[in-house]
C-alpha cells in the first residue's frame, strides 16, 4: 500500500514510462533511473517512423533505443527495461502490466502534434484512435491488474483553448441561478490532437470515479529546451529535438531557425499566448506527481507550465539573443494555417505544482543561446524544406 506522500530518498518505485523513446519520455526515463527507481520504457518506435513519413529527422543525432539503454547501463550500472509494442494492442498492454506490475505509469505515448492531426482525415482518425484507445487500454490494465497504480497522464494546456475568463486547474466552481457546483473546466481545444486529449481526460475522470483508481492529468504547456543532466552525459544519450513545421514547437523552432539563418516564422500576428516550460521542469513536475500520488478515486488535474508568453514575444527574444551572438534573425509573419484567436485574454492558474515544491527554471537568455549553439553544431542536419507549416486547419 502506498503512503499518500513520499519523500525523495524514501521510496523506490516501479515506474513505467510509456512513450519513453520520445522527446519528453526519454529524459524522464533517465531521470527516474538516476534516482534509483526501477524504470521500464514502453514504446512502439512510431515517433521515428513519423520522421520517415515526413522526410525529416531530429536536429540532434539520436541512437536507437537499444543503444541508448545499453549506454546508460555502461555509464551508470543501472538497468532500464524495454517493452516494444503499441498501447492500442491489448495483448501487449496486458502482458507488460502483468510482467512489470508498475506502481506508477507516466503516459506520454500519444501522437502529440496538432499539425500532424490536421494533415487530413486519415491523420485525424489515426490520432484520435491511437490516443484514446491506448489510454483506454492503460485504464483497463490498471483496473484489472494493478489497481493501486497511479496513472500520470500527459494532457495539454491546449485542452482549455482561450476562454475569456481565467483558466483553472481542471475544475471550476460555477454559481448559476442561485445554485453552485464544482464542475470540470469547459474545454475548447484547437485541433483533432488537442481534442484527443480532451477525450482522454473525460475517459480518465470517469474511470477514476467508477472504478476507484487514481490519476493525475498534467495539462502541460509548450516544452522548450533540450538538455538535462542525464541526456548530456554521452552522445548516445542525446535527446531528440524537432524543428520541422509539424513536430517543431514555438521556442525551440525559433532558436534553430536563428542558428541556420532561416527567418523566424510567426503564424499570423503572433499574439497567441500560451504557457511554456523548460524540459527540466517537465521532469520535476512528473516526479512531484509521482511522489505525491492522487487519492484513490481521484482525478487530479495540474496545469504544468511556468510562464506565459505570446509567440511574437518569444520570436523577439530569440532575435535579440541571436543578435548578441552576431546572428541577424528576421521575423516574418506567415498566414496562420490554424484557426485560432491571434489576440485574446489569457491567464491560466498554475499553483498546484508550485505548492508541491516545483522550483521553476524560468526562460533565460543563456538557455536560448545554448539552443542556438546546439543548432549551429548540427546545422548540416537541417533540411530547409520541412520548416514551413504544411497542414492547414481551414
Taking the complex as a whole, how short is the minimal distance between the CB of residue 32 and a second copy, in angstroms?
28
Q: Is 193 a catalytic residue?
A: yes
Under the binding rule (CB under 8 A), the answer on residue 184 touching a second copy is: yes
**Taking the complex as a whole, how short is the minimal distance between the CB of residue 218 and a second copy, in angstroms?**
20
Q: Where are the alpha helices (DSSP H) in the chain?
A: 25-34, 46-54, 65-76, 90-100, 114-117, 121-144, 192-211, 250-260, 279-291, 311-324, 352-356, 365-377
Catalytic annotation, pick one of 56, 127, 156, 228 = 156
CB atoms near residue 12 (< 10 Å)? 13
Transcribe 330-358 into DSSP letters: -EEEEPP-S---SS----B---HHHHHT-
Q: Which stretch binds a second copy (CB under 8 A): 135-143, 232-240, 245-253, 265-273?
A: 135-143
| Position among 66, 67, 79, 166 found at the interface with a second copy (CB under 8 A) | 166
- CA separation, residue 253 to residues 27, 54, 265, 380 (Å): 19, 16, 9, 16
DSSP three-state, residue 192: helix
Among 193, 243, 262, 267, which one carries the catalytic annotation?
Answer: 193
The least CB distance from residue 338 to a second copy, in Å, is 9
CA distance 346 to 162: 6
Identify whether the C-beta of residue 251 lies closer than 8 Å to the C-beta of residue 222. yes
Closest distance of CB 191 from a second copy, Å:
8
Rounded CA separation 235/62 (Å):
8
Closest approach, Cβ 183 to a second copy, in A, equals 4
31, 88, 197, 273: the catalytic one is 197
Hey, which residues between 199 and 238 contact a second copy (CB under 8 A)?
199, 202-203, 205-206, 209-211
| Cell numbers standing for residue 60 | 540532434
Binder to a second copy among 28, 33, 137, 303 (CB under 8 A)?
137
**CA Rg, the chain, in Å?**
20
By CB under 8 A, the residues from 51 to 110 that bind a second copy are 90
305 binds a second copy (CB under 8 A): no
Task: Give the residue carrying C-alpha cell 524544406.
Answer: 385
Of 4, 7, 179, 359, which one interacts with a second copy (CB under 8 A)? 179
Is 165 near a second copy (CB under 8 A)?
A: yes
Active site residue 156: yes
- Whether 341 is a known active-site residue: answer no
* Residues of the shown chain interacting with a second copy in the complex, contacts defined by CB under 8 A: 90, 121-122, 124-125, 128-129, 132-133, 136-137, 140, 163-166, 172, 174-177, 179-181, 183-192, 195, 198-199, 202-203, 205-206, 209-211, 339, 345, 393-394
Q: Just list the catalytic residues.
A: 156, 193, 197
Amino acid at each position: 500500500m502506498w503512503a499518500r506522500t513520499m519523500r525523495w530518498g524514501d521510496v523506490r518505485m516501479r515506474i513505467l514510462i510509456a512513450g519513453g523513446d520520445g522527446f519528453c519520455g526519454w529524459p524522464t526515463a533517465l531521470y527516474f533511473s538516476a534516482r534509483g527507481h526501477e524504470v521500464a520504457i514502453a514504446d512502439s518506435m512510431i515517433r521515428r517512423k513519423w520522421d520517415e513519413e515526413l522526410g525529416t529527422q531530429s536536429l540532434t543525432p539520436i541512437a536507437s533505443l537499444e543503444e541508448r539503454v545499453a549506454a546508460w547501463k555502461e555509464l551508470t550500472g543501472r538497468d532500464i527495461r524495454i517493452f516494444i509494442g503499441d498501447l492500442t494492442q491489448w495483448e501487449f498492454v496486458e502482458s507488460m502490466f502483468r510482467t512489470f506490475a508498475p506502481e506508477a505509469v507516466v503516459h506520454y505515448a500519444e501522437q502529440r502534434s496538432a499539425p500532424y492531426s490536421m494533415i487530413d482525415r486519415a491523420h485525424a482518425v489515426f490520432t484520435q484512435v491511437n490516443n484514446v484507445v491506448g489510454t483506454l487500454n492503460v485504464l483497463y490494465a490498471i483496473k484489472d491488474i494493478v489497481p493501486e497504480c497511479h496513472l500520470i497522464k500527459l494532457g495539454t494546456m491546449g485542452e482549455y483553448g482561450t476562454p475569456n475568463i481565467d483558466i483553472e486547474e481542471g475544475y471550476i466552481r460555477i454559481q448559476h441561478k442561485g445554485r453552485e457546483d464544482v464542475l470540470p473546466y469547459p474545454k475548447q481545444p484547437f485541433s483533432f490532437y488537442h481534442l484527443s486529449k480532451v477525450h482522454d481526460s473525460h475517459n480518465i475522470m470517469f474511470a477514476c470515479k467508477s472504478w476507484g483508481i487514481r490519476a493525475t492529468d498534467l495539462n502541460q504547456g509548450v516544452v522548450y529546451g533540450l538538455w538535462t543532466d542525464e541526456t548530456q552525459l554521452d552522445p548516445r544519450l542525446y535527446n531528440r529535438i524537432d524543428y520541422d513545421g509539424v513536430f517543431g514547437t514555438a521556442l525551440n523552432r525559433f532558436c534553430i531557425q536563428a542558428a541556420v539563418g532561416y527567418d523566424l516564422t510567426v503564424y499570423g500576428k503572433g499574439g497567441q499566448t500560451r504557457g511554456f516550460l523548460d524540459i527540466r521542469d517537465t521532469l520535476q513536475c512528473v516526479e512531484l506527481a509521482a511522489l505525491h500520488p492522487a487519492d484513490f478515486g481521484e482525478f487530479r488535474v495540474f496545469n504544468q507550465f511556468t510562464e506565459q508568453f505570446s509567440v511574437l514575444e518569444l520570436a523577439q527574444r530569440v532575435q535579440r539573443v541571436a543578435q548578441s551572438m552576431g546572428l541577424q534573425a528576421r521575423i516574418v509573419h506567415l498566414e496562420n494555417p490554424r484557426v485560432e484567436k491571434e489576440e485574446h485574454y489569457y491567464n491560466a492558474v498554475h499553483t498546484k505544482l508550485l505548492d508541491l515544491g516545483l522550483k521553476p527554471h524560468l526562460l533565460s537568455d543563456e538557455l536560448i543561446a545554448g539552443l542556438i549553439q546546439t543548432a549551429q553544431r548540427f546545422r548540416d542536419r537541417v533540411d530547409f524544406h520541412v520548416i514551413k507549416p504544411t497542414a492547414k486547419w481551414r
